[in-house]
Amino acid sequence: MHCFYFISYSKNKGLANINASQNKSLIRKKLYLRYLLSNKGSKFFNVDKEKKKIIVSLAADYGNLGDVAITYAQTMFLKNNFPEYEVIDFPISRTFKDMKALKKICTPNDIITIVGGGNTGDMYDDIEYCRQFIINQFPQNRIISFPQTIDFSETANGKKALQRAISVYSKHKNLVLTAREEKSFKKYQESFTTNKVLFVPDIVLSLDEQESKYQRDGITMCLRSDREKRVDKSQQNLLETELKKSYKVNYYDTHINKDQLSIQERELELKQIWTVFKKSKIVITDRLHGMIFCAITKTPCIALDNSNHKISGVYNAWLKGSKYIKMVEHFNVEELQKEIEHLWNIDSNGIAGVNLNDKFKSLINV
């Protein structure tokens, strides 16, 4: 994110390159000061105020391709279902710098959407701060938060962050919250009682990238290296050693070391990773969108759960019936090898792909 003095994203989501001892409150005051000192006459938007608009706020312009895919899928979903609206990309890096300019072109009849993902909570509380800032800026507009995983920890900070979110959300009477797995849906219902709550798949599952001209070969490993990782390095090394005895093994991650991506660059990076998956016989991943990219490209996949169980949550809610995606909750090399042998022989062209179009009707209706 490039908020105050171009704070940038690291391999993990979050405000990176900040000395950990710096006070979060001070940083947030500086971010808000950036908003106060910004110019509402910014040239960032060249839009007719009278046009009907839907805003895609917190749009991912950094190198996490899962978040980039959410932004892309959300934009396509809105354009396809609401062609009479102009859909406007509002990058997360511009949240404070160009908020005044955005408000200048918006009317109370415009719809504000907030990108989905897994960042409602105190693990990525910088993004949660941006989300609450946006909610406060548009008290008269309908705001729809696209499908999220909610994860407030049981720590003192987590409980405080949850109460702060409840306070902000509850004041907005036209805020719709959507959850992409059951645990988050129940947490939303229990905690945010004044807001409408929907249960909807991750928005990337609205995409269809199944058509492929490629021959599949080898296994692609797409594994995390951050605090959500559940498989330790020794387990990963053991698995890779065993696989290389029998298979060609490739590596690709859903995170790239780039920031401030243009819309064109984002789409190019997505096409590249989807092509890698389409060329793979099997993908082994502990990234949620590694699994989801397999679902939309009809790529056989073994998904390993991560630390906050969002992968198993999404799998159990929407993908459990798929013949080409297998969820493994507990790491075991022998079990994984058996699953690989089974998936290796699947002809993905001869089986039905994931189709969840009917599951998005409630989101369209609101």
* Beta partners for residue 113, in sequence order: 56, 144
CA dist list (Å): 277 to 91, 225, 258, 325: 27, 20, 21, 13
More confident residue, 312 or 349: 312
Dihedral of CA atoms 202, 190, 177, 171 in degrees, nearest 10, equals -160
Residues 6 or more apart whose Cβ sits within 8 Å of residue 228:
306, 307, 308
**Coil/strand/helix, residue 341:** helix
Looking at the predicted structure, is the pLDDT value of residue 4 above 70? no
Under the banding of pLDDT at 50, 70 and 90, the label for residue 68 is very high
Under the banding of pLDDT at 50, 70 and 90, the label for residue 16 is very low
CA dist list (Å): 179 to 204, 254, 255: 13, 22, 23
Compute φ and ψ for 103, nearest 5 degrees: -65, -30
Looking at the predicted structure, is the pLDDT value of residue 282 above 90? yes
CA dist list (Å): 121 to 13, 152, 184, 292: 13, 4, 11, 22
Threshold 0.75, pTM exceeds: yes
What mean pLDDT is reported for the chain?
90
DSSP 110: S
The average pLDDT across 134-156 equals: 96
DSSP 155: S
340/289 Cα distance (integer angstroms): 20
199/185 Cα distance (integer angstroms): 6
DSSP 287: S
- Give the chain's largest Cα–Cα span: 63
User: Which of these, 350, 362, 254, lies nearest to 13 by C-alpha position?
Assistant: 254
Write out pLDDT tens, residues 302-339: 999 877 788 999 999 999 999 999 998 888 888 899 99
Looking at the predicted structure, is the pLDDT value of residue 150 above 70? yes
Write out pLDDT tens, residues 91-121: 999 999 999 999 999 999 999 999 999 999 9
- Tokens 């790529």 correspond to 299
**Coil/strand/helix, residue 237:** helix
Q: Where exactly are the structural domains of the chain?
A: 4-206, 219-350
Compute φ and ψ for 310, nearest 5 degrees: -70, -25
Write out pLDDT tens, residues 220-269: 999 987 766 777 788 888 889 999 999 999 999 998 888 889 999 999 99
CATH topology of domain 4-206: Rossmann fold (3.40.50)
Give the rounded percent of residues in the chain with a pLDDT score beyond 70. Answer: 93
Query: Residues 314, 193: contact at Cβ < 8 Å?
Result: no
Secondary-structure class of domain 219-350 per CATH: alpha beta
* Beta partners for residue 177, in sequence order: 145, 197
91/262 Cα distance (integer angstroms): 9
pLDDT computed for residue 84 by the predictor: 97
The packing angle between helices 65-81 and 288-297, to 10°, is 50
Looking at the predicted structure, is the pLDDT value of residue 289 above 80? yes
115/57 Cα distance (integer angstroms): 6
Domain 4-206 matches domain 219-350 at the CATH topology level: yes
pLDDT computed for residue 277 by the predictor: 97
pLDDT computed for residue 347 by the predictor: 85
